[in-house]
Structures are given as structure tokens and as C-alpha cells.
Structure 1
Amino acid sequence: MRRPLLLLAGACLLCLLAACAEGGDEPVAAPARTTGSPAAAPTDYDQYVALGDSYTAAPLVPPTDTSTICLRSGVNYPALVAEAMPGTELTDVSCSGAQTANVTTPQTGLRGSTVPPQINAVRRGTDLVTIGLGGNDEHLFAGVLGQCMELGRSDPTGAPCRDSFADRDLESTFLRIHSNVAGVVRAVQERAPDARVLVVGYPHIVPASGSCDLLPLAAGDYAFAERVTQGLNDAVRAGAADAGAEYVDLWERTAGHDICAADPWINGRITSAERALAYHPLAAEQEAAAEAVLKQIR
């Protein structure tokens, strides 16, 4: 319950990615990927800003910038969206470990590295913004799924994680995430009142049925973990609607491509510098997310 990263269970992964919304005296900006050119063929959007956490940054999907705590892939979905819209300039400030609070406050890593508030990238002339945040709030996935994996070792045939969270009010957690996402949208709207704002949901991570070694949960906890991820998506969708933003649904789009699927779009428990960080999107998922965003835009 203490680790603020999305879907991370191992201590080595925590050292790599852990970050929190703490203040820094002299925030250091992480380099943002920029693609496209305002002088190229005209499009409906000139300035696109991508805000998000690791499910937007796509850590370790090659090529990845490993010089900052953000671990942002050069072929994540914002980069692919911008590539498909010649003339659109992308500023991608998505950062692994980000919470909704890091839209307006600096994000600090375990080693003291900081990145400035993501909202700094949004200007009055910004005309397109995507937001992919919420999963790190309330330590939801790290707390719930991280603990599920730990408990699963002691009771592999039961549902120890579901039972341990029986007294936790997850509905209140989802309501706070709903409110936080709506707050991010409103902060964007205040800085860029003419921008089109799209809130991007999370993919199918846990199988709706079945199990696998790549996601080591107790047999009875898969259904619980799947409900948590679905509850997160419902909260993000509600937050978008509450603030008048559009919602891009990845839940249905990625059905059948969870960690345990025959064709997974989410990496399992083994981190690979040639594929993706454990429990994070693979390149195929980012391609699907880009297609969903582009379909909504068009």
C-alpha cells in the first residue's frame, strides 16, 4: 500500500520508476519529444500536448529515453498520433509514475530528480490535449495489485487479496479519482480554453477469466483485480464527462489482449529492455491506443 507506481510489484522496479508529487526547489525539465512541423501540410491541430503516466509514456518500449525518471518511449501513442498528423507539433510530457497531482505540482523520483508540473506544457494556443492519468492516484494499482501478488504466494488457491480489501471503501477511492481527473481537465481548459481535450482510458490488463504465470495472482483474485481495473476506467470516464471532455475508450478496444492472452498487448512480470517494463504496455497496445485517439479526432 506504499508504492506509488502503476502495477509494479518488485523492489527493483520501484527503484527504477517510483515517483511522487513532492515539491522541488529547482525542478529540472525532462526533455519532451517533439515531432511534426508547423510549416508542413496544414491540419486541424497545430499544437498538441500529451499529459499522462506510464501508460502514456510506455516505458522501455524501444526507443526509450532513459535519461530521466519519465522513461518516455519515442513511439508511444502521442508520438504515433502526431506522426499521423503532419504539421502538428507535439509536446509530450507524460511521465512514468505521474499522478493527477503532478499536473500542477512537480514530480520527484526516488533519487531526487524532478520534472516540472505537466500543465506547464499547455499554452493558450494549444489546440489539442490528451490526458492519460488516474491509475497512480490513491496508490490504487500499486497498492491493490502489488499486494495481491504478494498475498498470492501464501494462498495461491484462495482469494487473499480480495479478502484483505473487504473493508476498504474502493467506491470512495474511485470517486476521488473521478474528481481528480475532472480537475485536470478543468486546469487544461483554463489555460487553453479553445483546446480539444481527450481523456484516454486504460487498457484491459487482467484477464476476464483464466490465469497465467505472467500475472502471479491467487486463483480467486483475478476477478477482483479485473474489477478494480474496470472501476478505474469507469472513474476516469466519469471524470472526463463531468468536466466536458471527450473520452477515448481503450477497455473495449483491448479486450482479449490482456497480460494472459494469446496475443498480449501488456507485458507480464518480466521486464525487457527490448519490449517493455513489467506490467506495462507493449508496442502493439500503444499502436491500438493511437488508432483509437485518431479515430476520435477524425
Structure 2
Amino acid sequence: MIRSVIAAIVLVVAIAIAPPAHASAGEVYVALGDSAASGPLVPDQVLPDLGCWRSNRNYAHLTAKAIGTAAFRDVTCSGADTKDMYQPQGTELGSVPPQLDALSQDTTLVTVQIGANDVGLTGFIEDCLNLLPPPVGDACNDDYMENGQDTWRVKTDALRPKLTALVADIRARSPQARIFVVGYGTYAPPGGCYPRVPIIRKDADYIRATLMYFNQMLAEQAAEAGAGFIDLQTPSTGHDPCTSPGTRWIEPYVPASPATPFHPNARGMRGFADAVIAAVSGV
């Protein structure tokens, strides 16, 4: 209960200190991030940098269209982590420039969704897939305890200074920009939905708690760095991979809509865009 109250306070503080959010037709918008932002396999995949698996219906494209930007640069790329903000990223179809190279002195709006690949969250979810329930199949959450510590929380906490530094580096390159750190969506409801998504109850709750802690960390670091934070966890509640194909925003291990497993589909990108548009427009 105390932790929930603290998390709620953190989110309120993050929103309260966020830069004034008033989008205008003159915005110069740069979108940074990983596959949760780029939209792999969501129609239509666009050039350049086809190896980044970037959709023209990801939330950044939808946001840019909705707010009527003067200029828009989307450099989100599947597989990206924080180091790819600063150095070229290799993809299956060639190397792409550092994402921060897209920033300029005239940039006025930046969204950045990054960090999941630094700690391997997608791989962690896939590792917990269990086609055979107990007692044949084993829970995966115990595999991530070392010396009494949860290794995912250790990795998450180790990412904190990198995110604070990243926001500072974005601000140094684009001093006029309003910067928004974007969180991640809801990947599991309480208890999961075995066998629809073959992750047993104990592991589904562990995944849920791990992602909630990760999003809390992002909100805290955004607040510390003086950036805004956009919560995608709350609006995607009830649209997780356990819900029906016509309701879900994030696809399960076997997708029913064009998207990679445990990534947003087109419906999810629309829902996430609504959250981003509201945040950057001050609604």
C-alpha cells in the first residue's frame, strides 16, 4: 500500500514539473526510441532505415499529424537501447546513425521511449513462456533472484543515471525543446490468462510487477531531469495481450494483427497516440 502511494505521488510530481505542454503548428518534433515506439510490422513500414521496422502509423507519426508539425523526424528503431542514442546502430539491413543526430537547435518537441532493451525486458517476457503448467513446467521468476536480489530491479536501478544523462544531452542539443519520456504499456493483467497466453499466474504477476517498477523508474528519472512523463500503462489497462483480438493493443506471442510478439499493434499505436497528443497539447 505504501509503495502504491509513493508511486502515485511520483507520477503526480512528474506531471507537475513537466515543461508547459502547448503544441503548436510550428512544432519541430523529433521522436526517439526503440521498437515499442517504432511499430515493427504495423502497416505500413517506411523508408529510410527499413531495418528499424518503423511504421507510418506509430504513435509519433499519428501525433505529428494531429498537432500539425512544421517538421517531423522519426528515428525510432527496433532493437535500440540507450547507447544507440549516441552511436550508430546496426540492423539486419545496415547501420543507422545515432538517434541524437536527429536533434537540432530548432527542435521544439522530443519524445523518447527507451530502456527496455537495456535491461532485456522483451526477452524476459518470452523466457517466461511456459507451454506446460506446473508441476511439469517451472515458474521463471525464481531464475532472476541472485543473492536475495531481484536482478531485473537491479538492472532497472542501474539505468537511472543513463536516463538522467540522456535527457540532459537532449536538452544540450535542443535547448528550446519540451522533452517527454514515454513509459511502456500493460503487458499482463493480474494473474495472467494461462493458457491463452502461456505464462503461468505467478510469472504473469511477476512480469506485471517488474514492468510497473520499470515505469515508476522512468517517471522518477523524468521528474529528476525536469522532463515530462507520458504514462502508457494506465490507458492500456484492459487492452493487454490477454484480451480479445478486437480489444488488445499489445499482441501476444502469436499475434492476430500485424505486429511483433509483445509489441503494440495499430490499435495500440492509436491508443498510445491519444495519450501522447493529450500530453504534448496540455489537454
Q: Aligned with 2:52: secondary structure?
A: coil
Closer, same or farther in 2 for the Cα pair 1:89/1:248, shift >3 Å? same
Q: Residue 251 of structure 2 aligns with which residue?
A: 267
The structure with the largest helix share of the pair is 2
Is 1:210 equivalent to 2:192 in the alignment? yes
Structural mapping, 1:158-169, within 5 Å: 160-167=139-146, 168-169=150-151
Alignment partner for residue 145 of structure 1, among 118, 125, 130?
A: 125
1:210 and 1:230 map into 2 onto residues whose CA distance is 15
Alignment partner for residue 186 of structure 1, among 159, 168, 171?
A: 168
What is the aligned-residue identity percentage?
A: 32
Give the CA deviation at 1:240: 1.1
Alignment partner for residue 278 of structure 1, among 257, 261, 268?
A: 261
Compute the TM-score of the two structures, normalised by the length of structure 2.
Answer: 0.82
1:214 and 1:293 map into 2 onto residues whose CA distance is 30
Structural mapping, 1:7-26, within 5 Å: none
Compute the TM-score of the two structures, normalised by the length of structure 1.
Answer: 0.78
Q: Aligned with 1:69: secondary structure?
A: helix
Alignment check: 8 A CA contact 1:181 1:239 kept: yes
2:96 and 2:195 map into 1 onto residues whose CA distance is 35
Closer, same or farther in 2 for the Cα pair 1:90/1:260, shift >3 Å? same
Q: Residue 55 of structure 1 aligns with which residue?
A: 36
Which residue identity is paired with 1:251?
Q
Question: Where do 4+ consecutive residues of structure 1 move more than 6 Å?
Answer: none
| Alignment RMSD (CA, Å) | 2.1
Which residue identity is paired with 1:145?
I
Q: Residue 297 of structure 1 aligns with which residue?
A: 280
Give the CA deviation at 1:290: 1.1
Alignment check: 8 A CA contact 1:159 1:220 kept: no
Q: Aligned with 1:101: secondary structure?
A: helix
Is 1:74 equivalent to 2:56 in the alignment? yes
Q: Which runs of 5+ in 2 are unaligned?
A: 1-22
Alignment check: 8 A CA contact 1:45 1:128 kept: no
Give the CA deviation at 1:266: 0.5
Q: CA-to-partner distance for each residue in 1:136-170, whole Å, 9 max, x for gaps?
A: 1122331x223212xx2465456521111122433
Alignment check: 8 A CA contact 2:156 2:217 kept: yes
Alignment check: 8 A CA contact 1:266 1:282 kept: yes
Closer, same or farther in 2 for the Cα pair 1:74/1:162, shift >3 Å? same
Q: CA-to-partner distance for each residue in 1:63-112, whole Å, 9 max, x for gaps?
A: 11386221100110010001112243110000011101110111113x47
Give the CA deviation at 1:233: 0.8
Q: Residue 107 of structure 1 aligns with which residue?
A: 89
Structural mapping, 1:123-138, within 5 Å: 123-138=104-119
Which residue identity is paired with 2:128?
C
2:30 and 2:61 map into 1 onto residues whose CA distance is 10
